[in-house]
Amino acid sequence: MQSFTALVRPPGTHFPQAISDHPQKKGIDQSRALVQHQSYVDALKLAGGKILSLPPEDLLPDSTFVEDTAFVFGKTAFLCSAKEETRRNEVESVAQVLKDPLEIVNLEPYIDGGDILNTPQAIYIGLSKRSDERAIQSLSQKIDKEIVPVPVVKGLHLKSAVSYLGNNVLLINPERVESGAFKNFQWIEVEAKDSYAANCLALGNQIIMPAGFSTVREKMLQHGFETVEVEMSEFEKADGGVTCLSLIIP
């Protein structure tokens, strides 16, 4: 069991107003979201995580999606710069928490943490609705690791379609990204009907995944991974996935 800290923030009272293109976004249940968030935190604890919980930001609807605010690499926290104006005030409180153990570096606009996929070989960054070339250049000038831009064809972020599980294995829906960048990995392919399950959080050999995707779960089990399922219905309605709800600090 690996040691890590997970920064989380429960959804605030305005969470039902989160930015979303999901057809059921008007049906977000705040009370159910709080219960599901606590189950997610419990799964992080089960995986060996120390939980650092920030208070809810009631006036910032998307603030529970803390992954988008920063990218932690080594002893540095690279602060992201949101393209969505309503999300720009989320970063400050996260930076206040991170600045004690980590060096803080600001990235050029615009980039979301959900577009940054770190693997042993390289860092892949989605060219998406939320992240652009300027931000990728900004990071590449500040980090000593290969950075590979990947166009996102469909969906919000790169990590909406691709997750690195470990052992050179990717969980991927190749229809949603320019997948040629990932040809050196072994793929577990996710079909269109299961596309929400392409976003999973790997913590050592344990994978936290959304509940209700038995086909995807079985494929991961066959590759030797352990899975923990969490209910994510309210966050799915808000265009958020499993990794979105935490910022992992190794």
Answer yes or no: are the C-beta atoms of 89 and 132 closer than 8 Å. Answer: no
Smallest CA-to-CA distance from 89 within 76, 80, 98 is with 80
Active site includes 244?
yes
- CA-based diameter of the chain, in Å? 44
CA distance linking residue 86 with residue 19, whole number of Å: 9
Q: Which of 37, 80, 157, 200 is catalytic?
A: 157
Active site includes 223?
no
Bridge partners for 163 per DSSP: 171
Q: What is the DSSP letter of 25?
A: G
157 Cβ contact list (under 8 Å, min separation 6)? 112, 114, 115, 126, 128, 130, 131
Answer yes or no: are the C-beta atoms of 28 and 18 closer than 8 Å. Answer: yes
Answer yes or no: are the C-beta atoms of 209 and 241 closer than 8 Å. Answer: no
Q: Which of 37, 80, 200, 244 is catalytic?
A: 244
Answer yes or no: are the C-beta atoms of 220 and 227 closer than 8 Å. Answer: yes
Q: Which residues are catalytic?
A: 157, 244
